[in-house]
Amino acid sequence: MEYRKLGNTKLQLSAITYGAFAIGGNMWGGNEEQESIKAVQASIDHGVSTIDTAPFYGFGLSEELIGKAVAGYDRSKIQLLTKFGLVWDQSNQGKGEFFFDAADNDGNKLPVYKYAAKESIIREVEASLKRLGTDYIDLLQIHWPDATTPIAETMETLELLIKQGKIRAAGVSNYSLQQMQTSQQSIQLASNQVPYSMLNRAIEQDVVPYAQQNHIGIIAYSPLERGLLTGKYKPDFKLSDDDHRNGYFNQFSIGKVNLFLEAIRPLAQEKKASLSQLVLRWTTQKPGITVVLAGARNAAQAIDNAKAVDFSLSAEELAFIGQTFEGVFG
């Protein structure tokens, strides 16, 4: 495993970071608790020291499972990353910016709001610490921008939490260039967690250059486009009715995606790697990308993800992938 310094912080994160959205169950067709715990533990046992989660993932379930999974490990050697700013409980309902209606794992409808006011952040952090079974969070990130709360208020609260020792570093997620610039007026950001993949490279235009210039880490999420870049989904795919990917995949031409993947498959075979490992490795080697999130719902998937850094791609091989992509997608 490779370990990389996050921005200006003292944190060293694993290049492949365990992404814990799917084990929350909601929006992913349910959850299997013991398999999820084994997935987290298999990741750690294969060098993945960093775990990224959020209260919204399973409405607390993802954090609880991670707390159980890491209980037997040396906490000082594991980096726990979580978020705040998506609220659904009765005490906060109606505050902030309405985001969408979600369903929990029992099918109950819950309205979700973006809300990042001081008192709400402090309440969320205490709940996350309890669920994770720890007394500090390595990196706390606002999950989505909240238009109803001044960015300065949010960032000043994060600074307070750092001084209190509740968190070691503060980051953002899904922030634009302008929002990052505003945040920097109040705090030195550790990172911005943003979507990035072979199919979605928008952050290369402005977010990545700004991050590089200002020593801000980039945590890339959805590098496999929620499984689409593994090659296992065909145009006639059908997942369980409560799996959000039924709609998510519609933004892509699955036929073209699979054509591209088949064209680069020989390179994966040459590296004795799976397609998903090749895609993950490509992502870790892109300029400005600090770490890459990869989800796993069982131990086998977790181990496969961890091994994505067991090989490297040369400049010529990276160019081949780029040229192949352009040839398919134009």
Mind telling me the catalytic residues? 57
Q: What is the DSSP string of 110-133?
A: EEEEE---HHHHHHHHHHHHHHHT
- Judge contact between 282 and 315, C-beta under 8 A: no
The CA–CA distances, whole Å, from 307 to 18, 217, 266, 302 equal 13, 22, 18, 9
Q: Residues for the chain: how many in total?
A: 330
Local structure of 220: helix, strand or coil: strand
Closest CA to 83 of 42, 114, 104: 114
213 phi, psi to nearest 5 deg:
-70, -25
Region of residue 193 (phi > 0: left; psi between -120 and 50: alpha; otherwise: beta): beta
Burial 273-282 (b: 16+ CB within 10 A, else e): bbbbbbbbbb
Give SS3 for 284.
helix
How far apart CA 221 and CA 194 sit, in angstroms, is 6
Q: How far apart are the C-alpha atoms of 148 and 87, rounded to whole Å? A: 14
User: Which residues share a beta bridge with 170?
Assistant: 140
